[in-house]
């Protein structure tokens, strides 16, 4: 903070507001109220909310030791507003080992008077994962879940391995395809594109285009993720089913799952990779090739 304040010295403002970026609910009226409080004579100002819950003093194991009086206590938010010269001087006086809860405490330690103004519940601090869902509801943001499905199949040909869900598996045959023929990830890409309503893998990566010959399917997966991000959406869960007699998937399933979770940036608990056979029926049962199907769930703005 000291470095940031010093950086303003060449074109010093009258006032400076210091805000916690983890509080996205800041509004222009609140900024105006803080500036007005400084203009009316306060040395510093900050938004705050009264305490509504009972307070208890506890030990390290959360055993209640007693009650705490909440009268006269406030929950202080940000931004906190200061006269630039005052807060810069306050930080300049700090010793290297000084510790304060917030900028308001730094200013008060330097003798600056501070006044609190009514805060805003929408200025809640996003600290825990569940806070984001609360904030979305508070800001009136509505999201919908969309599910897409994908399917892909490749014939077997000459080779000594197959690539499935990003994992190389030794086998007596290879898979024929324009890229690396990773049927698992190809189905997954189509599932993500389906959830977005954005065509299929062939439309984004035409097999007639020589630049994709032998390409790693990780490129396709990451492209699909970029489209999710551009849509303001987020990938929630994926489920890939590999359909083949051989190679046996079970010994490699955990590795495939971990590799897919890594590329997608998802917790492994939200990535499923499993396998089944057709009980020797059809081209899959005759081991002429293998197939994969996938489901992808995304949440996107309504």
**Bond before 284 cis per omega within 30 degrees:** no
Residues 297 and 152 in one domain: yes
Residue 138 has pLDDT above 80, yes or no: no
Last residue within a domain, chosen from 62, 95, 125: 125
CATH number at residue 61: 3.90.550.10
C-beta atoms surrounding 219 within 10 Å: 15
Specify if 264 maps to a domain: yes
Residues 112 and 151 in one domain: no
Specify if 132 maps to a domain: no
Residues 32 and 94 in one domain: yes
Residues 173 and 31 in one domain: no
CA-CA-CA-CA torsion sign (261, 262, 265, 267): positive
Residues 86 and 155 in one domain: no
Specify if 209 maps to a domain: yes
- With helix as H, strand as E and coil as C, how does the chain read? CHHHHHHCHHHCCCEEEECCCCCCCCCHHHHHHHHHHHHCCCCEEEEEEECCCCEEEECCCCCEEEEECCCCCEEECCCEEEEHHHHHHHHHCCCCCCCCCCHHHHHHHCCCCEEEEECCHHHCCCCCHHHHHHHHHHCCCCEEEEEEEEEEEEEEECCCEEEECCEEEECCCEECCCCCCCHHHHHHHHHHHHHHCCCCHHHHCCCCCHHHCCCCCHHHHHHHHHHHHHCCCEEEEEEEEEECCCCCCHHHHHHHHHHHHHHHCCCHHHEEEEEECCCCCHHHHCCCEEEEEEEEEEEEEC
C-beta atoms surrounding 50 within 10 Å: 12
Residues 236 and 156 in one domain: yes
Specify if 133 maps to a domain: no
Residues 108 and 149 in one domain: no
Q: What is the pLDDT of residues 32-57, one digit of tens each?
A: 999 999 999 999 999 999 999 999 99
Specify if 137 maps to a domain: no
pLDDT range class, residue 130, cuts 50, 70, 90: confident
How many domains are contained in the chain?
A: 2
Residue 115 has pLDDT above 90, yes or no: yes
Residues 156 and 259 in one domain: yes
Enter the pTM of the model. 0.60
- Rounded to the nearest 10°, the torsion over CA 222, 225, 229, 234 is -150
pLDDT range class, residue 131, cuts 50, 70, 90: confident
Residues 36 and 105 in one domain: yes
pLDDT range class, residue 140, cuts 50, 70, 90: low
CATH number at residue 178: 3.30.1330.50
pLDDT reported for residue 132: 81
Residues 94 and 197 in one domain: no
Q: What is the pLDDT of residues 188-202, one digit of tens each?
A: 999 999 999 999 999
Pick from 234, 241, 302: nearest CA to 264: 234
Q: Which of 70-74, 235-239, 251-255, 256-260 is least confident? A: 70-74
Residue 302 has pLDDT above 80, yes or no: no
Residues 86 and 153 in one domain: no
Last residue within a domain, chosen from 77, 92, 125: 125
Specify if 158 maps to a domain: yes
Specify if 138 maps to a domain: no
Query: 105: domain range?
Result: 2-125
Strand pairing of 271-276 and 234-243?
Answer: parallel
Specify if 136 maps to a domain: no
Residues 94 and 31 in one domain: yes
């Amino acid at each position: 903070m000291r470095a940031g304040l010093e950086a303003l010295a060449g074109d010093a403002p009258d006032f400076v507001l210091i805000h916690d970026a983890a509080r996205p609910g800041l509004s222009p009226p609140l900024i105006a109220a803080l500036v007005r409080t400084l203009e009316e004579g306060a040395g510093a100002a900050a938004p705050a909310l009264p305490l509504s819950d009972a307070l208890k003093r506890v030990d390290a194991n959360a055993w209640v030791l007693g009650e705490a009086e909440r009268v006269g206590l406030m929950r202080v938010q940000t931004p906190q507003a200061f006269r630039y010269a005052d807060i810069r001087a306050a930080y300049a006086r700090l010793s290297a080992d000084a510790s304060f809860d917030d900028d308001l405490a730094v200013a008060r330690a330097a003798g600056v008077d501070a006044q609190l103004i009514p805060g805003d519940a929408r200025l809640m601090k996003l600290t825990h994962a569940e806070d984001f869902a609360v904030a979305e509801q508070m800001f009136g943001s509505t999201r919908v879940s969309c599910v897409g499905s994908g399917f892909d199949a490749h014939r077997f040909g000459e080779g000594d391995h197959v690539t499935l869900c990003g994992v190389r598996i030794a086998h007596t045959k290879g898979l024929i395809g324009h890229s690396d023929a990773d049927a698992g990830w190809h189905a997954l890409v189509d599932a993500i594109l389906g959830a977005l309503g954005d065509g299929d893998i062939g439309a984004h990566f035409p097999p007639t285009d020589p630049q994709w010959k032998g390409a790693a399917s990780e490129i396709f997966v990451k492209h699909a993720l970029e489209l999710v991000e551009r849509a303001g959406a987020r990938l929630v869960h994926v489920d890939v089913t590999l359909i083949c007699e051989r190679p046996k998937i079970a010994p490699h399933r955990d590795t495939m799952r971990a590799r897919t979770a890594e590329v997608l940036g998802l917790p492994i608990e939200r990535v499923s990779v499993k396998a089944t056979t057709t009980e020797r029926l059809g081209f899959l049962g005759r081991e002429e090739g293998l197939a994969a199907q996938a489901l992808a769930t995304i949440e996107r703005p309504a």
